[in-house]
Amino acid sequence: MKPILLLPFLLCLGLGVQAEEAPVLEAIQEYLDFAEYADGAITPEQLASLEDSNILFVDVRDAERYRAGHIPGAINIEWRQILERREEIPAGRPVVLYCDTGLASSRSYLILRLAGRENLKVLRGGYLMWKKRQKAR
């Protein structure tokens, strides 16, 4: 792994990386300059129009929450393992990351984007919103 890819995560986690690390800040600023407000987000309603598009769902919650309930066909990669297990996530098909609410999946999204992945979306509202929508059907 390239050391430059690890530095943004350390910044995000507040582990004492100096703000003067210009390459890290430049990489983050470059992303911010072009990212749209809802960059990478998809709603449960939008998912309905994509159901036949070979989406891979990645549940980034812990294994216990995954076992308690998940989107059918989803694989489980806890958000803390997303970088080391990124090869399990194909680059050639749409991928939707989700957790309970969207917080951990947003972290996973940023990590994978900084690692060069572009085929990703975060499920806005997470599993809880998806489950609520399924009950309403």
Whether 99 is a known active-site residue: answer yes
CB of 77 closer than 8 Å to CB of 99: no
Q: From the candidates 99, 112, 122, 123, which is the catalytic residue?
A: 99
Rg (CA), the chain: 16
CA distance 115 to 58: 17
The residue ranges of every structural domain in the chain are 1-34, 39-136
Integer angstrom CA distances of residue 108 from 102, 122, 136: 10, 9, 28
Please tell me the pTM assigned to this model.
Answer: 0.74
Q: Yes or no: is domain 39-136 CATH 3.40.250.10?
A: yes
CB of 97 closer than 8 Å to CB of 122: yes
Instruction: Give the tokens for residue 100.
Output: 């309970």
pLDDT in tens, the chain (137 residues): 343 444 455 455 554 445 556 676 776 677 666 666 556 788 877 877 766 678 999 999 999 999 999 999 999 999 999 999 999 999 989 999 999 998 999 999 988 988 888 889 999 999 998 898 888 87
